[in-house]
Chains A and B, each alone.
Chain A
Amino acid sequence: MNPSLRRFLTDPKAVIGLTILIVTLAAALLAPVLFPRDPWQMVSRPFLPPFQDARYWLGTDMLGRDILAGIAYGAQMSLIVGVASTAAALILGILVGAFAGYNGGWIDDALMRGTEFFQTIPTFVFALLMVAILAPSITSIIIAICVVSWPPVARLVRSEFATLRSREFVKAARVLGESNSRIIFTQILPNTLSPVIAMSSLMVASAILTEAAISFLGLGDPNRMSWGYMIGASRTVIRQAWWMSFFPGLVILLVVLALNLVGETLNDALNPRLSRKGRQ
């Protein structure tokens, strides 16, 4: 097995993080099977406290909807938004960063000033504004989160490219007559991916948080159950029914913690300097 992969899988932090993520993914995939009824539907009496009824053991909300079913369906929303917006941001960020870092000069200047323009706007406010303008839906949330989260990727990739392009193996590829796009995608890009992969897991975490915050403020997709919406809807009754906001909040905490654990251990496992030290 690849030594970095082995280091990653033997780290207890990674195991804890991966377990939480796998459970979340299973909940998202199996939600329609486990909870065949629509999570918006009333299933029992309202304000049912948790651990009282074995069928609804996280209780129900003020309209009698099953909290556990809401959490399982909410996992779908969170994971789709987290993964899709991160993937889009990575593609955009890598393209901009690679192009700027490899070419240098005025192309680099122009692209980086553009990137900085996006960074000067407070990200959450910007995302919220975009969702409001585009009309709340899962697509507009993904687009909004992508637009605010690609600049750090671009900057990271650019700095990696700027150092790698003067390395001897890149010069060798130029002397051998390889085309620029080939050099960018086959010679340099694979060497920049380790930090990008580590960063992407943290980006998924922050995308999930952003989505939760958008839904909390009532701008989420009205047709999809979401953890942020559940907390937002129950904030007015938090004194009477703590469980309605507590369980979705706990799930957000666990998933974000898991992604951070995975990101941190990925970073350790993929960092060649640390890994070399460990082996010698």
Chain B
Amino acid sequence: MTTPLLSIEDLTVALPGGGDRRHAISNVTLRLNRGEVLCIVGESGSGKSITASAVMGLLPGDQLKVTGGQIRFDGRNLLDLDENAMRRIRGDRIAMIFQEPMTSLNPVMTVGRQIEEVLETHDVPAAERPAKVLELARAVDLPDPEEIVKRYPFGLSGGQRQRVMIAMALALEPDILIADEPTTALDVTTQAQILDLIRNLQRARGMGVLFITHDFGVVADIADRVAVMQQGRLVEEGPIEQVLVRPSHPYTQKLIAAVPRFRTARPEAVPEGPLLRVKDLTKIYRSRRGFGAMRETRAVDAVSFEIARGETLGLVGESGSGKSTIGQCILRLASIDGGEVLFDGKNVGTLQGHDLLAYRGRAQMVFQDPFASLNPRHRVGRSIMAGPLAHGVPRAEAERRMNALLERVGLDAGAASRFPHEFSGGQRQRIGIARALAVQPDLLVADEAVSALDVSVQAQVLDLLREIRRELDLAMLFITHDLRVASQICDRVVVLHQGKIVEQGVVTDVFGHPEQPYTQSLIAAVPGRSWHGDQREPETSNI
């Protein structure tokens, strides 16, 4: 075997005192060979990003210190290099791309200029730079390169911005590309394109790629080898065929089992008589650009659907499809510009005063971000009781409900007197669910309720939602961008694209035999499809 391109040996990074563990990562040993994609996969807090930052010498030195081990690259230990020597290696020999392409780019500089700046920093002669910038823009498949390099980052889509980041990373033809969750913030079809792009560039240039992700679907699509991390330790490492199909470590097995898959069993028939009817719902956003004419955007365009009690309807679509806006219109967080929302026969759009308050007691919401959706200065008990108290429920009864709900969502009674920051993301989401249920609603709108959670926690919260819907005979509107999650929990789905309904029907029909080309392209872009197929038919050639 040849010497590896990069080898991390026994790397240990200490956490400052007072935390729940002493090391951010401990004794991690990894090799990256020329021309291969090594995926480091793990849940939040597993130390995967810290490993990547350590290689780049980007750890915040006052808080995270490397206390042991080596990072060998090109015959040298990167940890021994001073800042100047490290700077020459960064960008030139090892490049990095990040998760959030908007904040990684300078908003007041054209993208062409930003790519050029990388060349300038590493002493490429001025005369050669413009041609090189265009060549790079072409290499990352940016449309109309001559024109796009003159634009500013806000004029580009998320996928295009990530392409610009990749162009900057590739500018000096590095030996190693480190990609830290580069597609997590992108839509699924864009994600598929970026993964393709990284794969192609890696093959064409023979780079080694260190790819950090939490998504086993992405791993299945891009990796040659996989390293699984848990709480700062490397628990399993090996070729992709081995780790994904025959994982040996129990943690890997648990993670892989938790990855949501497309369901094949047809859901039970749904009772008749809708609780909520949405008819031709339209929402228009108006904006004015400079002194120009008013621009109208139809965020939601004549959307109609129904939900019955005891049924979960999924709203799926990419960003900008209007799915969250529909949820907000239904709950009167946004005004309705056309059509109507009928709840139990009453028009929600015109409710006022007492009627609106009564409706608020019957329709509730679970939010996406478990960190932003609880008031950081209110104890959990107070947050849960706020709803019942606003509806005139006596304090003793509100307290009784709160205790019962905390127990129902799997938290101990002591949780009531603690603050939100003392809980993990999954626990906070449970608190959010308890808060919504405290007013005893009939309709629950879950807006990306599990999208911010780790995959194993995601499965638990989905189970909880499913059980609660059954126990309380709720009508549930489940809004998500993740088709696999939708397939897990929904009975019927509505596929949205740019504010319009593309397709709707029973979940297994829509995802199993999509009729519309847009739905087909969405499903084709779901990461790790070949591998999901694997679970049923063990022999596939794709991996």
Q: Which residues of B contact A190 (CB under 8 A)?
A: 375, 377
Among residues of B, the one whose C-beta sits closest to the C-beta of A177 is B360
Say whether A191 contacts B387, CB under 8 Å: no
Interface centre among A172, A191, A280 (most CB of B within 10 A): A172
Say whether B364 contacts A176, CB under 8 Å: yes
Chain A nearest Cβ from B141, distance in angstroms: 36
Q: Which residues of A contact B378 (CB under 8 A)?
A: 186-187
Q: Is A22 an interface position by the 8 A CB rule? A: no
> Of A66-74, A137-145, A163-171, A248-256, which stretch is located at the interface?
A163-171
Among residues of A, the one whose C-beta sits closest to the C-beta of B372 is A168
| Complex CA distance for A172 and B432, rounded to whole angstroms | 9
Q: Which residues of A contact B368 (CB under 8 A)?
A: 168
* B452-471 Cβ-contact flags toward A at 8 Å (1 or 0): 00000000000000000000
Say whether A168 contacts B369, CB under 8 Å: yes
Q: Which residues of B contact A178 (CB under 8 A)?
A: 386-387, 390
Specify the main secondary structure of chain A where it touches its partner: helix
Q: Which residues of A contact B369 (CB under 8 A)?
A: 168
Chain A nearest Cβ from B432, distance in angstroms: 7
Q: Is B394 an interface position by the 8 A CB rule? A: no
Say whether B360 contacts A169, CB under 8 Å: no
Q: Which residues of B contact A239 (CB under 8 A)?
A: none
Say whether A169 contacts B374, CB under 8 Å: yes
Say whether A171 contacts B367, CB under 8 Å: yes
B439 contact from A177, A277, A279, Cβ within 8 A: A177
Q: Which residues of B contact A173 (CB under 8 A)?
A: 375, 386
Q: Is A175 an interface position by the 8 A CB rule? A: yes
A-B contacts at CB below 8 angstroms, number:
64
Q: Which residues of A contact B363 (CB under 8 A)?
A: 175
Q: Which residues of A contact B205 (CB under 8 A)?
A: none
Q: Which residues of A contact B533 (CB under 8 A)?
A: none
Say whether B333 contacts A169, CB under 8 Å: no
Say whether A177 contacts B377, CB under 8 Å: no
Say whether B375 contacts A176, CB under 8 Å: no
Q: Is A52 an interface position by the 8 A CB rule? A: no
Among residues of B, the one whose C-beta sits closest to the C-beta of A190 is B377
Report the interface size class on chain B: 20 to 34
A172 contact from B18, B361, B367, B391, Cβ within 8 A: B367
Q: Which residues of B contact A171 (CB under 8 A)?
A: 333, 365, 367
| Complex CA distance for A205 and B4, rounded to whole angstroms | 63
| Complex CA distance for A173 and B376, rounded to whole angstroms | 13
Say whether B390 contacts A187, CB under 8 Å: no
Interface centre among A177, A277, A279 (most CB of B within 10 A): A177
Report the interface size class on chain A: 20 to 34
Among residues of A, the one whose C-beta sits closest to the C-beta of B369 is A168
| Complex CA distance for A75 and B82, rounded to whole angstroms | 56
Q: Is A179 an interface position by the 8 A CB rule? A: yes
Say whether B377 contacts A191, CB under 8 Å: yes
Q: Is A174 an interface position by the 8 A CB rule? A: yes
B360 contact from A167, A168, A176, A191, Cβ within 8 A: A176
Q: Is A182 an interface position by the 8 A CB rule? A: yes
* A170-201 Cβ-contact flags toward B at 8 Å (1 or 0): 01111111110010001100110000000000
| Complex CA distance for A266 and B426, rounded to whole angstroms | 33
Q: With A168-B369, A277-B63, A280-B63 in contact, do A176 and B435 touch (Cβ < 8 Å)?
A: yes
Say whether A280 contacts B390, CB under 8 Å: no
Among residues of A, the one whose C-beta sits closest to the C-beta of B373 is A168
Q: Which residues of B contact A187 (CB under 8 A)?
A: 375, 378
Specify the main secondary structure of chain B where it touches its partner: loop
| Complex CA distance for A279 and B15, rounded to whole angstroms | 10
Say whether A172 contacts B365, CB under 8 Å: yes
Q: Is B357 an interface position by the 8 A CB rule? A: yes
Say whether A279 contacts B18, CB under 8 Å: yes
Q: Which residues of B contact A279 (CB under 8 A)?
A: 18
Q: Which residues of A contact B391 (CB under 8 A)?
A: 177
| Complex CA distance for A71 and B439, rounded to whole angstroms | 61
Say whether B387 contacts A176, CB under 8 Å: yes
Among residues of B, the one whose C-beta sits closest to the C-beta of A178 is B390
| Complex CA distance for A174 and B391, rounded to whole angstroms | 12
Contacts of B328-370 to chain A: CB distance below 8 A? 331, 333, 356-357, 360-361, 363-365, 367-369
Q: Is B125 an interface position by the 8 A CB rule? A: no
Contacts of B2-29 to chain A: CB distance below 8 A? 15-16, 18-19
Q: Which residues of A contact B432 (CB under 8 A)?
A: 172
| Complex CA distance for A172 and B333, rounded to whole angstroms | 10
| Complex CA distance for A199 and B15, rounded to whole angstroms | 34
A176 contact from B15, B16, B386, Cβ within 8 A: B386
Say whether A175 contacts B377, CB under 8 Å: no
Contacts of B378-431 to chain A: CB distance below 8 A? 378, 383, 386-387, 390-391
Say whether A175 contacts B390, CB under 8 Å: no
A179 contact from B16, B365, B373, B390, Cβ within 8 A: B390
Q: Which residues of B contact A169 (CB under 8 A)?
A: 372-375, 383
| Complex CA distance for A277 and B361, rounded to whole angstroms | 40
Among residues of A, the one whose C-beta sits closest to the C-beta of B63 is A280
Q: Which residues of B contact A186 (CB under 8 A)?
A: 378
Q: Which residues of A contact B375 (CB under 8 A)?
A: 169, 173, 187, 190-191
Contacts of B433-487 to chain A: CB distance below 8 A? 435-436, 439
Among residues of A, the one whose C-beta sits closest to the C-beta of B360 is A177
Say whether A175 contacts B360, CB under 8 Å: yes
| Complex CA distance for A175 and B364, rounded to whole angstroms | 6
Say whether B365 contacts A280, CB under 8 Å: no
Q: Which residues of A contact B367 (CB under 8 A)?
A: 168, 171-172
Say whether B377 contacts A172, CB under 8 Å: no
| Complex CA distance for A174 and B360, rounded to whole angstroms | 8
Q: With A171-B365, A277-B63, A280-B63 in contact, do A176 and B390 touch (Cβ < 8 Å)?
A: yes
Q: Which residues of A contact B377 (CB under 8 A)?
A: 190-191
Among residues of A, the one whose C-beta sits closest to the C-beta of B359 is A177
Q: With A176-B390, A177-B439 in contact, do A191 and B361 touch (Cβ < 8 Å)?
A: no
Q: Which residues of B contact A176 (CB under 8 A)?
A: 360, 364, 386-387, 390, 435, 439
| Complex CA distance for A182 and B16, rounded to whole angstroms | 40
Among residues of B, the one whose C-beta sits closest to the C-beta of A173 is B386
Chain A nearest Cβ from B441, distance in angstroms: 10
Interface centre among A168, A174, A176, A190 (most CB of B within 10 A): A176
B373 contact from A172, A174, A182, A191, Cβ within 8 A: A172
14 pairs of residues in contact across A and B, judged by CB atoms under 8 Å: A168-B368, A169-B374, A173-B375, A175-B365, A176-B360, A177-B387, A177-B390, A177-B439, A178-B386, A187-B378, A190-B375, A191-B376, A280-B16, A280-B19
B contact set with A: CB distance below 8 Å? 15-16, 18-19, 63, 331, 333, 356-357, 360-361, 363-365, 367-369, 372-378, 383, 386-387, 390-391, 432, 435-436, 439
What 5 pairs across the A-B complex have the smallest Cβ distances?
A177-B360, A176-B387, A168-B373, A168-B367, A169-B375
